[in-house]
Amino acid sequence: MKKKLLKNTEWTVLIVSVLLFAIGAVALFSATQGTDYVEFKKQIQWFFISIPFLFLAYSIDYNLIARFSTAIYLVMIGLLVGVLFTEPINGASSWYQIGGVGIQPSELAKIVVVLFISFLINKLQIRDRKEINRFWKLAVTLILMAIPIFLIIKQPDYGTAMAYVFAMVFILFISGIDKKYIIVTFIALAILVPVVYNKLPAHALKRIEVFLHPESDPRGDGYNIMQSKLAIGAGQLVGMGLLQGNQTQLGFLYPKTTDFIFSVIGEELGFVATASILVLYVVLITKIVYIAKTAKDNIGSYIAIGIGGIFFFHMLENIGMTIGLLPITGVPLPFVSYGGSSLVTNFICIGLLLNISARRQKSYL
């Protein structure tokens, strides 16, 4: 049985994630020069902490894990409520400080919410996949999705909230939802976006304005994006060399270990490295879609595609904001940016993907 699981496992997703981590570690080593490499060392430690979590997520049948998702979902909701009463860091109440270590519950809750919603939809479809289109069932699903999203927006952390939205949209899309709901959603968004835009807080409006016209505030809110674009442009084909980037080493990029790690890579390792990262993400997301397609049951498909939605949004938003195509939201680049909670969460997701692929009825390789 173990041999069959190992044979069926889609090891490519693990290989790609480790390669992305390795590229990120090299960039962090350069970005933390002059600071005793503190964040680089911590990231290596978090990598080793992630390994047993990845192994557990791979070893325990995902259906068994999903059965406990309701209880864990309730615990996570409690943690997301509690974090709102913590001391804000950089204007956001998103972290619990435990023994000098910052734990971000919204990161860990991503997995829990994907598991819970996948389990819920699967239960609602116990007789027929079309059951999800019954109004009350869809309404309950959307409300339970909305609760953690609302709590994360209250922190405020709009970027992470959008990751949840993408995960839920991906899950609903393959769950057999009726096209009429999709059409109604697009119409509602067209109406609500202008209304919501006018209700956004001042700092959110400022970010959008700076995104559209960064040169309007080059020494203020437009500073980061302009420095990021300068850094990536300066890297040209093969980069200025590790430890040699002007924007990186002179401190013009901030925060260079998290939000703008892609800019560090672009400046010091060039287009070759940044293009390689894009290729790796395309391979990763393609394999995730394949795992969702070949899963042995609906719940496996929903979990896999939900994880795919999270990775897709993080990749799209982080790279998009560093090159000026999307607003800056503080979303990390999966496996590459510095961050313990994010790294552990991402490798748990990889463990679940390996888990789902291993339990297919046969190898599709």
Least confident of 1-5, 115-119, 263-267, 277-281: 1-5
Please determine, for residue 280, whether its predicted confidence score (pLDDT) is greater than 90: yes
Report the pLDDT value the prediction gives residue 362, as an integer from 0 to 100. 55
Structural contact between residues 51 and 69, judged by C-beta atoms closer than 8 angstroms: no
Please determine, for residue 364, whether its predicted confidence score (pLDDT) is greater than 50: no
Q: Which residues of 224-241 are buried (b: 16+ CB within 10 A; e: fewer)?
A: bbbbbbbbbebbeeebbe
| Cα(351)–Cα(339) distance, integer angstroms | 18
- Pick the residue with more confidence: 12 or 132? 12
Report the pLDDT value the prediction gives residue 188, as an integer from 0 to 100. 81
Amino acid (1-letter code) at residue 29: F
Structural contact between residues 83 and 95, judged by C-beta atoms closer than 8 angstroms: yes
Report the pLDDT value the prediction gives residue 363, as an integer from 0 to 100. 45
| Nearest partner of 310 among 339, 280, 345, judged by Cα | 345
Q: Which residues of 34-70 are buried (b: 16+ CB within 10 A; e: fewer)?
A: eeebebbebbeebbeebeebbeebbeeebbebbeebb
Question: Would you kindly state where each structural domain of the chain is located, as residue ranges?
Answer: 2-358
Q: What is the mean pLDDT of residues 262-287?
A: 96
pLDDT digits (tens, 9 = 90+) for 305-352: 999 999 999 999 999 999 988 888 889 999 999 988 899 999 999 999
- Residue with the two structure tokens 């600071």: 35
Please determine, for residue 298, whether its predicted confidence score (pLDDT) is greater than 70: yes
Structural contact between residues 164 and 108, judged by C-beta atoms closer than 8 angstroms: no
Could you tell me the pTM of the whole model?
0.91
Where residue 338 falls (left for φ over 0; alpha for ψ -120 to 50; beta otherwise) is beta
Report the pLDDT value the prediction gives residue 361, as an integer from 0 to 100. 66
- Residue with the two structure tokens 């699981």: 5
Amino acid (1-letter code) at residue 158: Y
pLDDT digits (tens, 9 = 90+) for 163-214: 999 999 999 989 888 878 878 878 887 888 787 777 777 777 776 777 777 7
Report the pLDDT value the prediction gives residue 66, as an integer from 0 to 100. 93
Residues 6+ apart with CB under 8 A from 146: none
Give the three-state DSSP class for 36: coil
Q: What is the mean pLDDT of residues 210-227?
A: 79
Q: What is the mean pLDDT of residues 33-52?
A: 93
Taking residue 142's Cβ as centre, other Cβ atoms within 10 Å add up to 13
Q: What is the mean pLDDT of residues 4-14?
A: 87
Question: What is the phi/psi pair of residue 101, to 5°?
Answer: -110, 130
pLDDT digits (tens, 9 = 90+) for 57-106: 999 999 999 999 999 999 999 999 999 998 887 777 888 887 777 788 99
* DSSP summary character for residue 162: H
Provide the CA 294 distance to its chain's centre, in angstroms: 23
Residues 6+ apart with CB under 8 A from 345: 107, 108, 110, 111
* DSSP summary character for residue 329: -
Residues 6+ apart with CB under 8 A from 340: 42, 43, 46, 49, 101, 102, 103
Largest CA distance in the chain: 62
Q: What is the mean pLDDT of residues 290-305?
A: 95
- Tell me the torsion sign for CA atoms 82, 87, 90, 91: positive
Q: How many percent of the chain have pLDDT more than 70?
A: 98
